[in-house]
Amino acid sequence: MILIAAGSNLPFCGLDSQDIVLRAFNAIGRMSHLKRVSSLYNTPAWPDPADPPFVNAVAEIETDMGPQALLAALHAVEAGFGRRRSEKNAPRTLDLDLLAYHDMAREGADGGPALPHPRLADRAFVLIPLAEIAPDWRHPVTGERAGALAARLTDRGAAADVVKIS
C-alpha cells in the first residue's frame, strides 16, 4: 500500500485549500492509479494556531515509480500549486508527504525518503484520515494498525481539533 498525505493552508490562484487538496490528488491520479481518498479534514495550524487552519486528507495510490521518483513527482505537484520551501512549519499552498511505500522501512540517509514517514504515528491530521480509508494498514516498523494508532490519539484528546469537513 502506497499512502500520501496532503495538506494546504494558503490559497493559490483563486483556489482555496479544499480545492487545492482535491486538485492535487487529481494531478497525482494522472501519474498513478488513485485507489482511495479520505474525506477532507480541517486542522489548526501548528506550531502557530494563529496561522490559517489546514485542510488535510490521505490517499492510497498504485504506481510503478519507486519511492525516490514518487517523492520527486510529489514535489513537482507541490511546485505546480506554488509551493515554496521556506521555513519549517510555515503556511503553505500544498504539502504532500509520502507516508508509506508498501512495507518498506528505511531511514532515508541516502537522500531518499524516510519510510514510513517518521512522524506519521504522532499526527492526528494524518492518522484520522488514514484510519478512515485503511484502518487495517499496519505500520511497517511497529506493526500497529492505523485504526489503533488513531484511537490512541483520540483517547488522549490529541484528535479533538481534527474535524471532518467533507
CATH number for the domain that contains residue 89? 3.30.70.560
The domain of 19 spans 2-117
Q: Is residue 28 part of a domain?
A: yes
Residues recognised as catalytic: 83, 92, 95, 97
Over residues 68-77, the pLDDT tens digits come to: 999 999 999 9
Number of structural domains, the chain?
1
Q: Is residue 11 part of a domain?
A: yes
Q: Please determine, for residue 154, whether its predicted confidence score (pLDDT) is greater than 90.
A: no
Q: What pTM was computed for the model?
A: 0.94
pLDDT band at 166 (very low <50, low <70, confident <90, very high): confident
DSSP bridge partners of 126: none
- Residue 43 is classified by DSSP as E
Q: Compute the average pLDDT of residues 19-28.
A: 98
Q: Please determine, for residue 115, whether its predicted confidence score (pLDDT) is greater than 80.
A: yes
State what percent of residues in the chain have pLDDT above 70: 100
